[in-house]
Chains A and B, each alone.
Chain A
Amino acid sequence: MTDHDEKRPHMPLGLALRGYTGVIQHLSTKDTGSALSDIELESRLIELGFVEGARVEVLHEGLVGRDPIAVRVDSITIAVRRREAMAIIVA
């Protein structure tokens, strides 16, 4: 991780707009309002490749409420709702 990344403010991926690029800092599944339990949500995010250090880029947004978003996670693209993406803290 470079100094540049350290300086950028941490934010949930759920708030990122199209074109945003960043690196996953950590997962914080508390209080996202997801229907899944914290552990289940965290497990699923990891299974889809959302792990610390992965590069993310918001590629596309849906029509209604800019939701869901299509996120490039390293070498794959994952569609996820903003509600769940709130658990992914990026910088």
Chain B
Amino acid sequence: MEAPLLHLALVGTPNSGKTSLFNALTGSRQKVANYPGVTVERKEGFFVTPLGRQVSVVDLPGTYSLRGRSPDEEITRDFVLGKASGEIVPDLVLCVADSTNLRLTIRLLLELKRTGRPMILVLNMFDIASRRGITVDVERLVKELGVPVVTSIAVRKGGTADLLALTDEISAKLAAEPQENSWRALSVSELRATQREADRIIADCVSLPARPDTWTARIDAVVLHPVGGLIVLALILFVMFQAVFAWAQPAMDLLKSGFDALGELVKATLPDGLLQSFLQDGVISGVGSVIVFLPQIILIFLFILLLEDFGYMARAAFLMDRIMGGAGLHGRAFIPLLSSFACAIPGIMATRVIDNKRDRLTTILIAPLMTCSARIPVYTLIISAFIPAKDVWGFINLQGLVMFGLYVTGIVSALAVSFVIKFFMIRDYAPAPFMLELPDYKLPRLKSIAIGIYTRAKMFLQRAGTTIFSMMVLIWFLASFPQPPAGSTEPAIDFSLAAIIGKALEPLLAPVGFNWQIAVALIPGMAAREVAVAALGTVYSIEGGKEAAEQIGQVLATKWSLATALSMLAWYIFAPQCASTLAVIRRETGSWGWMAVTFTYMLVLAYAASLVTYNVAVALGAG
């Protein structure tokens, strides 16, 4: 008879290396979902122990205590206590500690012990501790704490062997004596007493070197310098955006020619007709034009994950705290806002680290103004069609500069909106505290980052395969039917449903310089912003024939005026149309009202910005 699935839970303070241990244990066998009713990410993975026991492990949100002062921390507490709805009580809790920094974890562990759950203390990053000259008397620690202790090096192959062996050993004799849960929220004096106890145990079992990590001190001397630090931050962001625009190009060209070749193949093999048009115009040129942006999305996540793993994100929050405070934002909002450059959805979900409700709401409302990666396809297409690829001052690419300008405009608008919110809506504003651990720098764990990027790329491709694909089929259908009457000389699309809808909307969008083709493209852009590009591709390729599909950029350059192109760029800085972001805002704020507010204010800003851009451009002769 096979033993039942063993349920493990990973608990630890932020920065304890919990996630890299999780990645080391489970590899890519991970399932990411949400806990019922809340938008806390639930990460579960699976592995098999050396003795063949099937194990499921849940990576719980990082916490310093079981008090549960944020939705994340409540999940961790309820999960360990077995109170989380629809969850199985974990058979074994792995309390993960950064071996170089045991103080806070040992205190957490003493609190966790009161829950009576079987537990192992995992001294993670043990190699770094040894290298720094930190020695841990593991046997004594076991005796003092009364729980098994094991060392691990999550980033090294075989570094979790001891942990796996111990898991087997303990799971064999589990369920013998179910223990009482005596946990209740600690009072301040109990908290203080546990920290004292933890400090005493550490003093007895751990010997620290005289000097702290000198590398961290040296890097911080530059990176946290009041002025130098901000320059470094600006440089990092600048390099990031130049890289996303320039480095991804070769890979994108490769993907693009791949899809073009595929389209040609379909054209050559299939007879002319609806099926050929569906495959070439609808599927390949539509979905293909979105998948082409995979390299850029991978790059932006690579930067964000690298900075996070290195330990820089907390420093960025430190540097930006007061500066963002001027606009009514909390320093912790920096991380969610930076993630929003990849996608507003993880960004909005990351606002959970802000425990003050108002700070969190402000951050959620402005997160969609950060230029997400889904806008990159739109920007790239228009910029490469309308902005010459020349160098300014010899070394800065003008296209890259325009891209950078669009990002900056997004950021400035976000700060302005936040300022307005602070001024008009939340007048009795008392700044929430900013307290954040600045972890020692660590070399990014390549395997962990690879897994992180893999998960995100998979999500993007799944979206391309489902949402975007179905939108493209719809667009193709709208643009192809009804078919033109026999013998008509005008382009087929003029008779289609798409043209009817687009032309109905045209009067509304004419003042900002949008033609009916753009109006058609904006509608499916509601599902996902990047679809607008694909939709334009489909509309123009059905209108203009096969040649047009291959060179959508060139087609736009002939069909649009520069003013229309600039207006479209301005529109997309604010572009409110992304149904999934709106859905996440509704979920996170628990209110349709805030979702409506976000949608309306962004729509108004988009329309106003386009109106101004278009009219100024026309007045300057770009019409």
Contacts and interface: CB of A to CB of B under 8 A. Distances in A.
B226 A63 contact: yes
Interface stretch (B146-154, B318-326, B498-506, B564-572): B318-326
Contacts of B482: none
Contact of A83 (B192, B326, B431, B437): B431
B322 A83 contact: no
Given A51-B195, A79-B317, A79-B435, A74 B103 contact: yes
A64 B322 contact: yes
- Report the contact-size class of chain A (Cβ under 8 Å from the partner): 35 or more
Interface in A47-86: 47-49, 51-53, 59-65, 67-68, 70, 72, 74-81, 83-84
A34 interface: yes
B280 to A, nearest CB: 55
A36 interface: yes
Nearest to A62: B322
Interface string B215-256: 011001000111101100000000000000000000000000
- Report the contact-size class of chain B (Cβ under 8 Å from the partner): 35 or more
B329 to A, nearest CB: 13
B480 interface: no
B434 interface: yes
Interface string B107-147: 10000000000000000000000000000000000000000
A37 B481 CA distance: 64
B104 A49 contact: yes
A28 B325 CA distance: 25
A59 B224 CA distance: 9
Nearest to A72: B212
Contact of B436 (A49, A62, A79): A79
Given A62-B322, A76-B103, A79-B318, A46 B192 contact: yes
B191 interface: yes
A44 interface: yes
Contacts of A46: 188, 191-192, 195
A84 B430 CA distance: 13
Interface string B542-559: 000000000000000000
Contacts of B434: 68, 79-81, 84
Nearest to A47: B64
B196 interface: yes
B101 A39 contact: no
A1 interface: no
A83 B325 CA distance: 13
Nearest to B326: A64
A44 B613 CA distance: 49
A3 B468 CA distance: 72
B432 interface: yes
B67 A76 contact: no
Contact of A48 (B104, B188, B314, B356): B104
B209 to A, nearest CB: 10
Interface in B178-223: 186, 188, 191-192, 195-196, 199, 208, 212, 216-217, 220
A24 to B, nearest CB: 11
B438 A42 contact: no
Nearest to A60: B224
A75 B433 contact: no
Contact of B433 (A34, A49, A62, A70): A34
B226 A81 contact: no
Contacts of B525: none
A79 B104 CA distance: 15
B228 to A, nearest CB: 10
Nearest to B208: A75
B331 interface: yes
A64 B323 CA distance: 7
A60 B101 CA distance: 20
Interface in A4-45: 34-36, 39-45
A42 B440 CA distance: 25
A72 B224 CA distance: 14
A35 B430 CA distance: 6
Interface string B408-419: 000000000000
A54 to B, nearest CB: 8
Contact of A78 (B69, B196, B225, B435): B435
Contact of A42 (B64, B69, B188, B430): B188
A70 B438 contact: yes
Contacts of A62: 226, 318-319, 321-322
B322 A75 contact: no
B65 interface: yes
Interface string B49-68: 00000000000000011010
Contacts of A39: 188
A77 B437 contact: yes
B356 A35 contact: yes
A40 B195 CA distance: 16
A47 B192 contact: no
A34 B69 CA distance: 16
A12 B65 CA distance: 26
A51 B103 CA distance: 11
A43 B103 CA distance: 15
Given A34-B433, A47-B65, A81 B321 contact: yes
A48 B395 CA distance: 46
Interface in B419-444: 430-440
A78 B438 contact: yes
A70 B69 CA distance: 23
A33 to B, nearest CB: 8
Contacts of B440: 77
A52 B433 CA distance: 21
Contacts of A42: 188
A79 B226 CA distance: 14
7 contacts: A35-B431, A43-B67, A63-B319, A68-B434, A70-B318, A78-B437, A79-B438
Interface of A: 34-36, 39-49, 51-53, 59-65, 67-68, 70, 72, 74-81, 83-84
Given A51-B196, A78-B436, A81-B431, 15 more contacts: A34-B433, A36-B432, A36-B433, A41-B433, A43-B186, A61-B226, A65-B322, A68-B318, A68-B434, A76-B101, A76-B104, A78-B437, A79-B331, A79-B438, A84-B433
